[in-house]
Structure 1
Amino acid sequence: MKLFQRLSYTALNLPTSAAGMPIFIFILPFYADDLGLGLSLVGIIFFLGRFTDILTDPIMGLLIDKFPSRWGKHKHWIFLSAPIFMLATFLIFLPTTSSPSSIYFFVGLFLLYSAFTLSSITQLSWATFLAPDYDDRTKLLTLRELMALLGMFSVIAIPAAVEINDPSLQAKVNAIGIFVLFCIPIITLNAIIQTPDSMESISRDRSKNPFKNFKKLFSNKMLIRIVIAAVLIAFCMSLNGALYLIWMEVVIELPEYSSRLMLIYYIVSVFGLGIWRHLSLKTSKHFAAGVSCIYAIIVLTSGFIGYWFIKDLETTYKLIAVGSFIVLYGLSFSGPLPLINAMTADVSDKLAVEVGENISGTVFSFLTTLTKVGFALAAVLPYLVLELYWGFDISIGTANTESSKMAIYYIYTFVPIISYSIASYLLFTHSLGREDHEEIKSKLNKNAV
């Protein structure tokens, strides 16, 4: 692939990231507080929206694998996802009323995540065709992650610029929505025009149970281990994102710096992406992903210990300390998930040899189906636990009880530490490496001939 083709393909991840990241950081607090739905209700609606969306993943994977078009296996699905994506973005980021109902929020979220599902599974399945080599996949999918980070930069920089004239959360959310609506059609059309697609013939044997391949994946131990690691890591990252603004306001007590520190976090993650990519190319994907998890554990543990020394410092010194933590933790953010995507593509090739057909759409739908459980639980569980058990009230901020404040800090720190620990073990013990994939690729080439 030429560089511009790579950029065109990977840029598809930019609007998805730009719309997805603010869900935890801005949208949930916006609907809970500014629009009056409340913390628990927003958490429940988000979970239900995510849960119903989860049910669509196997269907999307099946459609991608079984129903190509004259454009190829993937392009038409990317095209179809765009109008759904735009409608959902308008509903969620530019609400038509100042007092939306719970049904309005649910429908908007469901449409948004359905568009994410169709686009993301298609993109990942497409990568198995665009980058058939072990290391080339790492390069392509880390470039895709870079585009996601650029999307995140945009939606962090936009609120930072908007708050100069209007510090309201609504102004920030509206501005992000307009940016995403502008990006979707341009990036989608460019990718469809510029990126090559697989034109291989597809088996459409209707006598088979169409979900048979999906069900069989539950017994594939290699894939299950990867998926469990992905679920745990997704849960960690989403939990930190869902609690970040609350953590900055209630625990750290520096809410005025939250947007700028978040921007620094994602800028640093670009350098982290380069580190983990380089380590992966020098060693293996699973080793680099495992090391990134261990690194995150070390930073979180150090941050927990350091908090007790800096919590009563003056603002300047506290800001320096918290900023240092954000920088160090940001290096881990972009490490494991793009490498896990590349590992999943390798397992997909292995399965293609075993079943005699390319089922990359089904394999990635399996990954995304279960990973979304981690994303969904990360939003609903901490909010429910904080509000129902500790009596935390988001509307009164630092006036909450000391025990509820500390609960936020313990959840923010120790739940990810435990999850990253389990994930690192699963990644380090993965058994499909570079030489194994070369053998698999050789078999695929023979079958193609």
Structure 2
Amino acid sequence: MATILQRLKEMPIPKNVPSLSHKMMALYGLPHLTHSMVLLPLVLFIPSYYADDLALPLVSVGMAIAMSRLLDVFTDPIMGILSDRWNTRWGRRKPWLVLGTPLLILSTWMVFVPSGKVSVVYLFIWTSLLFLSFDIFDLPYKAWGAELSSEYKERSRVAAWREAFGATGHIIFLLILMAMGFWGYHGNREQLLVIALIICICLPIFVVLAVAKVPENPPERLHGASILGWPGMKLVFQNQAFVRTLIALVLFGCGLVIQATLHKMVLKHVVGRPELFSPMILAETFTSLLALPLWIWLSDRLGKHRTLTLAGAWVALWGLALPLVGYGDIVLYVTLIVFRGSSLAAIIFLSNSIAADVIDHDTLASGHQRTGFYFSLWGMAIKMAIGLGVFLGTSLPALSGFEPSAAVHSSATEFALMRIYGWLPCFIMLLAFPLLWNYPITQKKQLELRAEIEARRK
């Protein structure tokens, strides 16, 4: 981790632009060390845990998680608008982090460490509350980060520091899970308990440090009339860059989540080595973190949009070979997953950096800064992708005849599972490439937007 952070520090920032210190970017990213752990188990652990260990029907588990996303249609925009408009002496964003932390801790515990008789209704209610509390925390947190810098390349570094801490958090808890496996604790129940304890203990500490030490910039308001209400909403969907980004996020996210949902099932029922799950995800996450400076370097030279396109293509390329994996093909399978995963962190930080540039376009058009609202719409898209990915990753194998609780699986159902696992995500992600390659906001365009904003600022 120290080597990766040093490389991030050494990445050049353009001259004549006020820059954030590395300490500030690191403190801002620190809560993501544990905050990032919340959603990952929902695709890696929860479907397998509730279907395999708690004996709930696999299709019902997928439906419950997917249906819990429906509330976001209402809560995400409301949360974004409140975050934009709720001005306090502590800022617009920080109070929501303080409020969201205890709610996130409670709902995480109830989903990860259920007690008593557990039903599909229980899963639906608590995953709904988990996603709601995650919104209260996550939307203002991402908006805060997008507003820390107005410079095209430095925004990538802010997002990269945050994702570096997120990847490091994944590595830490996977190392703990591997240690548990060494002592004979391989079950989903014990693993989820450890993850929940890490989140509940560490998240409040990191949030306090970030809120106390990192500044929050005042909102940008421009001379001239502000466009609000329905005309302001129409501006959102007239923003070509926003629409392209939104669709690409859903396509990329859905493809990635389908594979993440099926990792454990493939290891257990196809490869026959379920105990390799934690070491494999650890290797994938570490490779993604190690490759982060390379993707930053590429984005500085090719632009964020084309680098993001290449990062998605990299995932799809290695996914094409996954159906070749069969029983005992440990080296082949782990190699494919590790190489595939080397661009995952890049997809996340580049998407967030591009999102900040899109908001510049809207600030100029609407006359005021709506970062929270825009991130609420992107949050809806991401969670829609999670819900759709989990639903497709659970229902399509079931429809093809694959059921995890079956004692024996035929070669036909296993091959059907592997085609859904490898080829379907590749096809879905390929659909996003035309949207991103000739993206309308380049570095030159973003500099022009910032110059116009600065000329009109009150």
User: TM-score by structure 2 length?
Assistant: 0.90
Query: Do residues 395 (structure 1) and 405 (structure 2) align?
Result: yes
Structure 1, unmatched stretches of 5+, are none
Match of 2:237 among 205, 212, 218: 218
Query: Do residues 348 (structure 1) and 359 (structure 2) align?
Result: yes
Who is 1:18 aligned against?
37
Closer, same or farther: CA 396–268 of 1 in aligned 2, 3 Å: same
- Contact preservation (8 Å) 1:272, 1:330: no
User: How far apart are residue 151 of structure 1 and its match?
Assistant: 2.1
Q: Distance in 2 between matches of 1:5 and 1:251?
A: 46
For residue 60 of structure 1, what is the amino acid of its counterpart? M
Task: Find the residue that maps to 2:114 and give its secondary structure.
Answer: coil
Who is 2:319 aligned against?
300
Q: Distance in 2 between matches of 1:19 and 1:247?
A: 23
User: How far apart are residue 212 of structure 1 and its match?
Assistant: 5.5
Who is 1:448 aligned against?
457
Match of 1:3 among 13, 22, 33: 22
- Contact preservation (8 Å) 2:96, 2:140: yes
Identity, % of aligned positions: 25
Who is 2:392 aligned against?
381
Q: Distance in 1 between matches of 2:292 and 2:428?
A: 21
Closer, same or farther: CA 110–285 of 1 in aligned 2, 3 Å: same
Match of 2:150 among 115, 118, 132: 132
Who is 2:175 aligned against?
157
Query: Do residues 31 (structure 1) and 40 (structure 2) align?
Result: no
How many corresponding residue pairs? 435
Closer, same or farther: CA 6–371 of 1 in aligned 2, 3 Å: same
Who is 2:444 aligned against?
435
For residue 343 of structure 2, what is the amino acid of its counterpart? S
User: How far apart are residue 260 of structure 1 and its match?
Assistant: 1.0
User: How far apart are residue 278 of structure 1 and its match?
Assistant: 1.2
User: How far apart are residue 64 of structure 1 and its match?
Assistant: 0.9
Q: Distance in 2 between matches of 1:431 and 1:327?
A: 32
Task: Give a deviation string over 1:7-27, Cα, whole Å, max 9, x none.
Answer: 121122222211211111112
Who is 2:17 aligned against?
none
**Higher helix proportion, which one?**
1
User: How far apart are residue 201 of structure 1 and its match?
Assistant: 7.7
Q: Distance in 1 between matches of 2:92 and 2:312?
A: 34
Q: Distance in 1 between matches of 2:228 and 2:149?
A: 30
- Contact preservation (8 Å) 1:62, 1:211: no
Task: Find the residue that maps to 1:396 and give its secondary structure.
Answer: coil
Q: Distance in 1 between matches of 2:381 and 2:330?
A: 37
- Contact preservation (8 Å) 1:67, 1:202: no
User: How far apart are residue 296 of structure 1 and its match?
Assistant: 2.0
Q: Distance in 2 between matches of 1:74 and 1:152?
A: 25
User: How far apart are residue 376 of structure 1 and its match?
Assistant: 0.5
Structure 2, unmatched stretches of 5+, are 1-19
Q: Distance in 2 between matches of 1:280 and 1:202?
A: 30
Task: Find the residue that maps to 2:118 and give its secondary structure.
Answer: coil
User: TM-score by structure 1 length?
Assistant: 0.92
- Contact preservation (8 Å) 1:163, 1:172: no
- Contact preservation (8 Å) 2:101, 2:203: yes
Match of 2:347 among 336, 340, 350: 336
Query: Do residues 169 (structure 1) and 188 (structure 2) align?
Result: yes
After superposition, the CA RMSD in angstroms is 2.0
Q: Distance in 2 between matches of 1:83 and 1:240?
A: 31
Closer, same or farther: CA 211–270 of 1 in aligned 2, 3 Å: farther
Closer, same or farther: CA 286–325 of 1 in aligned 2, 3 Å: same
Closer, same or farther: CA 261–63 of 1 in aligned 2, 3 Å: same
